[in-house]
Structure 1
Amino acid sequence: MRLLPPFYCLPIVLLCCLLPCLTWAQQPSSSRAELEQQREQLQKDIQRATQDLNLVQKNKQRTITQLRILDNKMRLRQKLVTNINQEINFINGDINKANHDISSLQKDLDTLRAQYGRLVVYAYKNRSAYDFLNFILSANSFNDAIKRFEYLKQYRAYRQNQAASIIQTQTQLKEKIKNLDAMKEKRGNVLASEKGQMQKIENEKQEKDDMVKGLKGHEKELMTSIKEKRIQSNQLSIKIAAVIRREIEEAQRRAAAEARKRAEAEARARALAEAKESAPSSNPSTKESAPPPSASSQPAAPPPVAVITPKARPANVLESTPEALALSESFESNKGKLPWPVSKAIIVSTFGIHQNPVMEKITEDNKGITLETEADAPVHAIFNGEVASVFPVSNRWTVVIRHGQYFTVYSNLKEATVQTGQQVKTMQTVGNVYTNPNTGESELDFQIYKSQQPVDPQTWLRSM
């Protein structure tokens, strides 16, 4: 067997470098989308709080309501800063991944260039057409010559692919560097936004300190106002409890009356049946009873079928009628989707026990939520129901509406436009908000009760 000259020998195995398909390592798109939506909502809430604060500050007298609105605004802005920090973390992750991709691409480019350089040098040394033909014609057989020809053709294609890979890698590298510069610019803008928000928080803290200092300078008037509101709150709670208790007692009386009617009807039906059985029969042939059929003539009893019964709803006397039960279930099915009782409002006091923002040793127990709104704003029923009671507290009106076993309470009204026993529809006006002539505050106290237990209205109302 004849050996080929050394300069004809090509590497039997060529190392083919496959470029990895590099993609941006992004955080889950849903997380970033939710972050963007949250930021937009926070910005809207801050803008609304600013407008509300400007509205109540038209009255030169500083009040606890102003302080609560400012507190709420600061909490919203702090949430916005947290949101911005999360966005910065996302961007930093993108920048780190981009740097890693650029480093990998640069290494791939260097490797491709080195490999291509060796191929070019080898091709230059063996560029003679005589060497090419001699390599093919020196084959031992025709099939061997064909294989050598295909091999040289594949080798040429490999060189072309290497050149194309270098160009493609250079393009990707430039694009990555461009994107990296854009990310760094975006991070700079976000950091500037964070710095601006932090400065606003510091300004609002100073404003809050000044406001607290001013309110503490009128401690006697403030204590008098707190005592008056506590008395009014206690009176309101007592009257609401009395209304609900009266509704329960009335429902119990109706249920007892219905039970007596059913018992009397059943007794009459039994007496009538017994009278028919004891009456003599006109057909004598029926006196002798026919013998009972044999067991063999009886049809076979079907096998028992398992019946799955739904979980029983706890009994409640306020749902003793089908209408009341349906209304309760409909009210429950709309939890988190109920409309707000006023069209424009900001929550200045939430549900539960809170520390007074000025008098740290004093706590306040809010059975519902307090909404600051526009002067003389119309108040709407949040669901279909029946007006259980309309009564005054300190020359201000309260409307209680029953929805099965649920009750909604609308307090601090200048006037009520509905009457006890009246059927109301969702969004029907039930009154107008009272405006304090001394402070200029227009506040609605709104509560929801499940039977006799107050619940947090914010969990029932839809997002603002």
Structure 2
Amino acid sequence: MTTPAAGQGLAVNGKESRQAFESQLASLRSRISADEKALSQTRSQESATLQLLNRLNRDIAIRERVVETFEQRIKELSAERDSVFAQVERLSSEIVALKEEYRARATHAYKYGRLHDLALIFSAASINQMLVRVNYLRRFSDARQAQLEEISSTTVALEARRADLLETLAHTEQTLREARKEQESLLDRKREREQVIRNLRRQKGRLETQLAERRKAEQDLASRLEALIEAERRRAAEAVTGFDAAEYAALTGSFETNQGRLPWPARGTLVERFGVQVNQEYGTRTTNQGIVVATLPEADVRSVFEGRVIGIDVMPVYGRYVMVSHGDYVSVYGNLSTVYVTPQQTLTAGQLVGKAGTDSEPYGAGYFFGLSKDGFVDPAKWLSR
């Protein structure tokens, strides 16, 4: 007879659940990796766009200075143009006045001849005064002619300067328009980059939030998986040692009320039953005061119920053994390779009593379990099926 392997069905379900958790965790970690890559790319794009935006800002600042320079130059050229226009108008007025004066003199000479000048000369009181008047009239005529020539020459120069100014001004205004157009184009590109930055930052924020949520989910899932693995580990240990905390926790009431529900001291294979046993080979008859269960060497042997240690000793038949009182009943754990309890120690249900035997003990790898109330009774009837 083999003692029941509690939790085998749970182990199968646990295995399936563990595989599901591991699959979910792997999928989640794959998404986290993708999110991290996308976030890294977004941050790189944001950095590159910011660098481009900085360059655009520098170019815009340069264009602003260029526009300001051209605007200032246009103001200067316009002022100079207006000044030249004023000078040309003034000189033109002087030329008109001189021409008007010359025309008046010509008309007078035509009507009256040069009698005025001759009268001025011949009315001189002396020859010397006559010569002075002749010289004055000649210098006056020369001065008028020179003044007219100078005004004409200056007017020509100013007209040329005015033409140059108009050409320069037109060229400067054209350059200013182009500079402003370039500036507006740069501003458009800046607005586009700023919109890209805003979009990238929103995307980065979403990715960071999503990544944080997935990392938290990963931690939660990893913790649950770790707990599941630990539970599997405990179940695996229980399958070997026979310890199932739930079995012991389910025990209530007195020892006697738990007949048929007591956990086995350790999982294993029942090799000798209680009572009279007949040797099949030799036909000899022996009486077993308890049962013998084969286990792994040094398997954990635990108290089947709460109680108090009332005896620890060694016998040739049972090897090291421990007696635990449970009120009217006494349980006996023999063939132990190691004992962990002390006399009068109070034990809880499931507390470790010792280690099962090895090849060095009387029954080899296993343990003896007996139960007494005014004499030994079959302990197998008290243990869970």
TM-score under structure 2 length normalisation: 0.38
Q: Return the structure number with greater relative CO, CA threshold 8 A, min gap 6.
A: 2
Which structure has the larger Rg over C-alpha atoms? 2
Higher helix share: 2
TM-score under structure 1 length normalisation: 0.32
